[in-house]
Structure 1
Amino acid sequence: MPPSKNNWLEKLLNFGISEGSANNLNYKQVVNLALALLCVTDAGMMLVFALQQAYWVVGFYAIFMVISLFGFYLHSRHYFSLVKLIVPFSTIVQIVVTSLYFFGPGSDFHWLFVTVAAYAFTAFRPDEKIMRHGVVLLSVMLFTACEVFPVEGVHMSNADQRLTAVLTFLWTLFTLAVVINVVIARLRKVNDYLRVLAEKDELTGLANRRKVLANAVIMYTEAMHYHQPCVFAILDLDHFKRINDTFGHDAGDLVLSEISGVMQSCLNKGDAIGRYGGEEFVAIMGNTTLTEAQQKMDSLRETVENTYITTEKGIVIPVTVSIGLAAISSQTKRYEDVLTLADTALYQAKKTGRNRVIAQQPTF
């Protein structure tokens, strides 16, 4: 992954998470984020009460900062289940004590219980219903107690409590925004990964049949709309069954993988190529005339012919490819018609000796 300004955040979120944690990655990232936010909150509280020279209160928050830092250590040692419980209960104790005895209920500091509820739904899996609902229920009960308990803040005047209420709202809003952003970013990554899996051929790394046909539809539609030339090609590795039978399927997979890279390197950036099935591939060359496509495909054919695949056992496998071409015309009704013509041209290339390029002219 290229360096970015958010690398520090990625390192923080993934601290202590092993590569085999894909299933719980989102939950573990939320726990790391919660630990970091707790550390920031405790540092801020320590600074506030240090300015007031209430050093015993500073010591109170220092203890919980140490607990949060110890949580990072436990997470790095793979005690994730324990850390996941430490975070909400550490937060709950701090909110109750701070709201009732340090700031007072008028500070609205107990509204931070909203973040505890958000944590419960983002850090605990759906199958951990007891812990998830238990933390939420406890938060609701303690929020209610803080709301109605008649204790006044020890270290805050009424004016300071009103200011703290505003700051509490802003910090709650910020915390929720950060957690939601992390969760959504993770979901987007998962969706992108799933989309790539759905569109990519695992063996060759090229587009799979569904994706390359979708590209064919798009490029065909654009070519017809803008009256631009466009050529479809079907490529087939010659005597591929013989390769599998002689050298084994592992060698056949190696040939498909290596030749796929060769094919892709011979095409232009705007061209599309994908695995059509078995040893057959489809290439769509937009804004390309049939003559240009023939030249390009013949160059590709020569490159493949001059490529020798060497197996792990040192066996050298020569490979050739036959290619059928067809261009769209003003009378073309469907992209499938162009593929059919290209397939007919491929059949002729196979029938007349293989390792050649043949173009099929449209017949209307």
Structure 2
Amino acid sequence: MKILVTGTAGFIGFHLAKRLLERGDEVVGVDVINDYYDVELKYARLEESGIAREKIVYDQPVTSTKYEHYVFLKLDLNDKDGMMELFNNHHFDAVCNLAAQAGVRYSLTNPEAYVESNISGFLNVLECCRYAKVKHLLYASSSSVYGLNTKMPFSVHHNVDHPVSLYAASKKCNELMAHAYSHLFDLPTTALRFFTVYGPWGRPDMALFIFTKAIMEGKPIEVFNNGNMSRDFTYIDDIVEGILRLIDKPAAVNTNWDSEQPDPASSKVPFRLFNIGRGAPVTLLDFVKEIEENIGLPAIKNFLPMQSGDVAATWADVSGLVNEMEYKPKTSIKEGVHEFIDWYKMFYGYNKEAHKRARIRPSNQIHVYATKI
């Protein structure tokens, strides 16, 4: 197939594009390469995919030197003319929209970024898919949409009308917008509710990255809710495998859908929702312990109360993925954390003995603010 993947300088988009290319698909990648986090990491992901940094010019295609069927464009989803031209120049069989403004706590101080990227940008994607008659649109949602829900595990059949952050609200908005386009224009859409994705080439604003860096540098890590947190950490390869299986099976009408007892996960139009998570939450302190064991150094823990916009626990019900796609993520935390830290040491360079000598005494620690887990 010929597939458009937005956000290919990002963590999940980078890995998805690679897997699609390895299985023989043709991929067009798009990313605006914003500075929400270190752009050097984003350019490094692109270079790992054969996209030379010096050749990247806005709205100009760059062909990969590593994959002959991979073309990348630096492009803003809010560039309506540029997006329309992109869809006119290519006839995409499927679109996977992973480009978005991420992060929960960032939304407390930069709300406009979420409206611009996650809502206005997504509207342009929907419009382009509509006019190009794309056969299947998949898009990133988030476990954050479950908000105030406390019934575990989180199910796509649950109501999610009580978000606790603007980020979560923007992802819920994406699902509503997609349903409207599925209804009005018969556009098959699939929402991908990701659960705390981690692994090599991961985001620097996520817990694993923050904790690893701080422990290696002898700085404290911030443990929110006094450690009474758990997350359904999901390894990147498992996330990508779930997406691959869903790409190949476009959303279809649920002929048993009942408008008097509406199921949020499907519809009488080609619309559906899927959780992609491991289905096995891990406590934050157990997660930290695994990092410590892989690095061989102890963490200096700074226990703090719950932060605004956070939830105490996430846990994915992945029965839909299992029943419909015959797939369940399975990578253990032990294996996944090991893979990440091996990559981190390779990418940033790490000498355990040198780091031990450079570690600061606890009484002289610099306070470090961690972002969303």
Q: Where on the TM-score scale, by shorter chain, does this alignment land: which range?
A: under 0.3
- Between Structure 1 and Structure 2, the one with more helix by share is 1
Q: Which has the larger radius of gyration?
A: 1
TM-score of the two chains, using structure 1 as the length reference: 0.25
Select the structure with the greater relative contact order (CA < 8 A; seq sep ≥ 6): 2
